[in-house]
Amino acid sequence: MTFKDFFKRQIMVARVYGIPVRIDYRWFLIFALSVLLIASNLHKSTLQLVTFRLPPTDVLSAWILGIITTLALFLSVFGHELSHALMAIAEGIEIEEIVLHPFGGLARLRTQPDSPRAEFRIAVAGPAASFLFSLIGFVGAKLGAMAGSNSVVAVCFFVGAGNLLLAVFNLFPGYPLDGGRVLRAIIWKRSGSIRDATRIAGFCGQLISLVLIAFGVYMALAPSFRAYFMGMWSVLVGLFLLGAATSVVRSAREPSTVSDAMTAPIAIEPELPINRFIDEVLPLHRHTSFPVAHNQQLLGILSLEDLKKIPRDQWRKRRTRDVMRNVNSSLFVRESTSLATARELMQRNGVGALAVIADSGELVGYLRQGGRTRKA
């Protein structure tokens, strides 16, 4: 594993309502930096937090409060994404995972919302949760001040302010921010085309990203600011959003769902002997994997990489069902799944392909990495 690959890895930390929750490795760097900044501010000088005035704290208390506050902030980000996920589930959409990364979080949906109304409700659920967390934080800070607890005031105020900033920032009208998804829902409702709505919302996201980058450069270089850290952070967030928005705009010009890109499945019976598969099927269809199905019901996927592990003298005795990878959620998608989601799944499932299942459960298509894009 290369150094570059290490920083692309994720670890699973929990499963909430059956949803895998993963953390990007780079998250730990941001966590440590956040603790350092909060602890430094609490220790070095008196803080005037709007109506709250906090005297400097000792080093140990500052570090403890920094850790508690940072954990609370990241739990708030998780709560934001979980709100998206739960609303999506209420709309009948399966959730693949929730990922916490250095610039926030992502609730990954297995399929696109099927209506502007569903898109709107899923989009606003996150900011609504963040506004609620913000209110709770500020109320907690007020109660802490009344009780004379500076520690409670510090933690609650930072949590309240952080969630308010998260909610307001996410409502900027540019995809992939929540405000961009709200904009997409509105345009989709008026135009009737999700592809056009996605392209426009993605273009707005590109504009917002460029503004963030320009503002970050200005903050870092302007004599009146010289805010190097905040400027650098604004540039990094802008670059992150620019990449995501550009990808969205590009995908809007291409087939948007699996049903637009899948090919007709070349299904293999589970009882077919391996030697017959190699002699009769493989010469006609030079693919690296095949769906295994019986009566149009998907049973698994046969990969040539797995087949290479079978000794030649076992080919007559073994059946495809003995070698195939049994069906699981990483090996199939629905027809309405977004192509971007399917591509990400193919990169991770170890096969580089996906079976496509209709709502009735029947095998209706197959999708391969790098395959020609055409509808079956």
Instruction: Give a yes or no: residue 374 inside a domain.
Output: no
Supply the range of the domain harboring residue 54: 3-255
178 lies in the same domain as 94: yes
In a domain, 289, yes or no: yes
209 lies in the same domain as 125: yes
Amino acid identity at 149: S
State whether 313 and 333 are in the same domain. yes
Q: Which of 255, 287, 321 is the last residue of a domain?
A: 255
Q: How far apart are the first and last CA of the chain?
A: 38
Q: What's the number of domains the chain is made of? A: 2
Query: Last residue of some domain: 196, 226, 255?
Result: 255
Is the bond into 176 cis (omega within 30 degrees of 0)?
A: yes
**Cβ-based neighbour number of residue 11 at 10 Å:** 11
Cβ burial of 293 (10 Å; 0-12, 13-18, 19+) is buried
- Which residue in the block uniquely carries the two structure tokens 């010009």? 253
User: What pLDDT score does 218 carry?
Assistant: 84
Burial class (CB in 10 A: 0-12, 13-18, 19+), 240: middle
Q: Tokens 């059946």 appear where?
A: 319
Domain end among 233, 255, 277: 255
Phi and psi dihedrals of 49, rounded to 5?
-100, 85
Beta strand 297-303 with 325-326 is: antiparallel
Q: Are 91 and 148 part of one and the same domain?
A: yes
CA pair distance 333, 365, nearest whole angstrom: 10
Residues 194, 277, single domain; the answer is: no
Question: What's residue 154's pLDDT?
Answer: 85
Q: What is the reported pLDDT for 376?
A: 27
Query: CA-based angle 33:85:195, to the nearest 5?
Result: 100
The predicted pLDDT at position 373 comes to 35
Tokens in use for 335? 């027809």
CATH number of the domain enclosing 319:
3.10.580.10
Q: Report which secondary-structure segment, H or E, holds 113.
A: none
Q: Are residues 239 and 266 in the same domain?
A: no
Tens of pLDDT along the chain (376 residues) come to: 333 444 446 788 888 988 888 888 888 888 888 888 888 877 775 555 556 666 777 788 889 988 999 999 999 999 999 999 999 999 888 888 898 887 778 888 877 788 899 999 999 999 999 999 999 999 998 898 888 888 888 889 889 988 998 899 899 998 888 999 999 999 999 988 888 888 899 899 999 999 989 988 887 787 665 566 677 778 888 888 888 888 777 766 666 678 877 888 889 999 999 999 998 888 888 788 999 999 889 999 999 988 888 888 888 889 999 999 999 888 999 888 888 888 888 988 889 999 999 877 899 999 988 654 333 2
User: Are residues 133 and 172 both part of a single domain?
Assistant: yes
**How many Å apart are CA 164 and CA 132, to the nearest integer?**
9
Query: Based on the domain organization, do 67 and 173 belong to the same domain?
Result: yes
Return the exposure string of 36-66: e unless at least 16 CB atoms fall within 10 Å of the residue's CB, then b.
eebbebbbeeebeeeebebeebeeebbbbbb
For helices 116-146 and 178-191, what crossing angle results, to 10°?
A: 150
Tell me if 158 is assigned to some domain: yes
Report yes or no on 32 lying in a domain.
yes
pLDDT at 1: 39
Model-wide pTM > 0.75: no
pLDDT confidence of residue 47: 54
Contact 176, 252 (CB under 8 A): no
Residue 376 lies in a domain: no
Tell me: do 208 and 348 sit in the same domain. no
Any domain includes 373: no
Output the 3-class SS for 119-165.
HHHHHHHHHHHHHHHHHHHHHHHHHHHHCCCHHHHHHHHHHHHHHHH
pLDDT at residue 79, as a whole number: 94
Kindly state whether residues 64 and 102 are assigned to the same domain: yes
Q: What is the pLDDT of residue 68?
A: 92
Q: Do 101 and 120 reside in the same domain of the chain?
A: yes
In this prediction, residue 88 carries a pLDDT of 92
Torsion of CA 134, 138, 141, 145, to 10 degrees: 180
Residue 375, in any domain of the structure: no
Reduced to 3 states (helix: H, G, I; strand: E, B; else coil), residue 4 is helix
**Domain contains 347:** yes
**Does residue 308 sit in the same domain as residue 169?**
no
Residue 185's pLDDT is 93
